[in-house]
Amino acid sequence: MADLTLDTARKILDAAFAKAGELKLKPLVVTILDARGVLKLAAAQDGTSLMRGEIAHGKAYGALAMGMGSRALFQRAQEQAFFIDAVNTIAKGALVPVPGGVLIMDGATLLGAVGVSGDTSDNDEACAVAGIQAAGLKASAG
At 91, phi and psi to the nearest 5? -80, 10
Q: Give all strands (DSSP E) within the chain, no chain letters.
A: 29-34, 39-44, 101-106, 109-117, 138-140
Domain boundaries, the chain: 6-140
CA distance linking residue 24 with residue 27, whole number of Å: 9
In the predicted structure, residue 99 carries a pLDDT above the cut 80: yes
pTM of the model: 0.95
Considering the four listed CATH numbers 3.30.450.150, 3.40.50.300, 1.10.240.10, 3.40.50.700, the one that applies to the domain covering 6-140 is 3.30.450.150
100-132: pLDDT as tens digits? 999 999 999 999 999 999 999 999 999 999 999
Task: Please give the pLDDT value at position 142.
Answer: 87
14-72: pLDDT as tens digits? 999 999 999 999 999 999 999 999 999 999 999 999 999 999 999 999 999 999 999 99
